Amino acid sequence: MNDLAGKVSIVTGGASGIGEATARLLAQRGAPVVIADINDEAGAAVADRIRRSGRVAEYQHCDVSQPQDVDGLVAATVQRFGRLDAMIANAGVQVEKPLAETTDAEWDRVININLKGTFLCCRAAVRQMLKNGGGSIVATGSVLSLVAEPVLAAYCASKGGILMLIRSIATDYGRHHIRANCVCPGYINTPLGDGYFAIQPDPAAARRAADAMHALGRMGEPDEVARCVAFLVSEEASFMTGSALVVDGGLVAKV
Ligand SMILES: NC(=O)c1ccc[n+]([C@@H]2O[C@H](COP(=O)([O-])OP(=O)(O)OC[C@H]3O[C@@H](n4cnc5c(N)ncnc54)[C@H](O)[C@@H]3O)[C@@H](O)[C@H]2O)c1
């Protein structure tokens, strides 16, 4: 399928997990992709693998919490490819703490990367998309944009904020042909999830418990989220904006 041919796309956090799967899929479907991350070695390797498969990809270092990095990322993308059609604001981190134990530094780190990073990426993208005549933004929220999970106070706050930011962008820029949506994954098998399980008293039991939280009886795979992101980017989703596309194997549906 080449339905995203020529749709110039940026994927932040594209060196790993959901971002990597998304970068690969968008490129496979014809989009020139710029992978942005702070993990330069892994990010460059992802871009290299995509190029070796005959598709178009570049890697650029970008800390999404830094305005100069983010503005530079969009400027370099436009310089290289002439436009920007899709911004996948996906980079994120997690700190496993309840509110009372969360330090100022931990709060700032999670909010600066997850929420401010999404703001900076969306702002730079919207400024360019207004010149382009439109575009599509997809932010990676979480089921924790919708419901809270214990011991993840800052993370839940950041993910709730991302969904409302996306709804605001959808509201402000719909008439400029800019669509903005959130994907809200359940537990997905990625290094971020591995970090969460590793600090549990019994990691194997925690994984089994996580599987059981989903109506489908298992966690998801990065490709299963990537397919939903590609859908939101594509014209198939032409009447979707401001939405929270829940990709959670039935986690939120289940008590
Ligand atoms: N894995 C899950 O269960 C799950 C569930 C719901 C939502 N999410 C969200 O999905 C997104 C991707 O997570 P993942 O599970 O693929 O994790 P991951 O750890 O595999 O990938 C995250 C990537 O973001 C990059 N990154 C971290 N800080 C950055 C920064 N300041 N600037 C640029 N890049 C940075 C990392 O280097 C890494 O490559 C995150 O926003 C996460 O919150 C994950």
Q: Are the C-beta atoms of 146 and 209 separated by less than 8 Å?
A: no
Whether the predicted pLDDT of 199 surpasses 90: no
Q: Give 205 Cα–ligand 1 centroid separation in angstroms.
A: 23
Kindly give the number of the ligand 1 atom that is closest to the alpha carbon of 43: 39
Is residue 47, in this structure, part of any structural domain at all? Answer: yes
Q: Which domain does 93 fall in, by range?
A: 9-188+221-247
Is residue 3, in this structure, part of any structural domain at all? Answer: no
Pairing outcome for strands 33-37 and 178-185 = unpaired
CA dihedral sign of residues 169, 115, 164, 248 = positive
Is residue 55, in this structure, part of any structural domain at all? Answer: yes
* Residue owning the nearest CA to atom 14 of ligand 1: 17
- Residue 59 annotated among the catalytic residues of the structure: no
CATH code (residue 42): 3.40.50.720
Q: What are phi and psi of 228, to 5 degrees?
A: -70, -35
The pLDDT tens digits for 64-99 are 999 999 999 999 999 999 999 999 999 999 999 999
Residue 136: Cβ-neighbour burial (10 angstroms; 0-12, 13-18, 19+): buried
The pLDDT tens digits for 97-107 are 999 999 999 99
- Band of pLDDT at residue 193, cut at 50, 70 and 90: confident
pLDDT at 195: 87
Whether the predicted pLDDT of 221 surpasses 90: yes
Residue 22, token pair as written in the block = 């998304």
Is residue 195, in this structure, part of any structural domain at all? Answer: no
Q: Give 175 Cα–ligand 1 centroid separation in angstroms.
A: 31
Whether the predicted pLDDT of 255 surpasses 90: no
Residue 187's nearest CA partner among 161, 225, 154, 155 is: 225
Total domains in the fold of the chain: 1
